[in-house]
Amino acid sequence: MKANLLISICCALLLGYLCANFLFSNYQKTSTAFGAENKVFFLQYGVYQQERTKDVLTDPYIEVEQDGNYYVYVGMTTNYDNAKKIKDFYEQQGIELYIKEEQVDSDEFFNELSQYDILLESTDTEEEITSVLATILASYEEFVLKR
């Protein structure tokens, strides 16, 4: 009687261990942290070895220092179609931009940027687009750069 109980307990423990191990290994493969999905398309004007604010031909923009270089961005979006729309908008003005995809650690900024993307989709005029971009860049400075 005791042997049957002991065998049943061992089988239950082994089965529980195997199920937990299987679920945990699948969870690690498919699960990502919330912040890891925060992909943002940066519209980059250029990269310089020193600050170049006087040479930037567009407004609004921000300059971000990373790894000893100064990156000049004129916009950001979570939607590639919006990034293409902004790039085309500036190319019509003779300004070439690069679309650069990066992760952003600030969930608060990412959520706010997602809301501005909805607004950016419906904008068409130069005034509206530059106004939305100025707000996005100010939010990036506030939430991510903490300026």
User: For 67-76, how does the pLDDT look when each residue is reduced to its tens digit (9 = 90+)?
Assistant: 889 999 999 9
Does residue 77 sit in helix, strand or coil? strand
Question: What pLDDT does residue 4 have?
Answer: 78
User: For 84-107, how does the pLDDT look when each residue is reduced to its tens digit (9 = 90+)?
Assistant: 999 999 999 999 999 999 999 899
Q: Where are the beta strands (DSSP E) in the chain?
A: 39-48, 62-66, 69-77, 98-103
> With 0-12 CB in 10 A as exposed, 13-18 as middle and 19+ as buried, what is 63?
middle
Mean pLDDT for 74-82 is 95
pTM: 0.71
User: What distance in Å separates the CA atoms of residue 133 and residue 82, rounded to the nearest whole number?
Assistant: 11
Question: What pLDDT does residue 56 have?
Answer: 67
User: What distance in Å separates the CA atoms of residue 130 and residue 66, rounded to the nearest whole number?
Assistant: 25
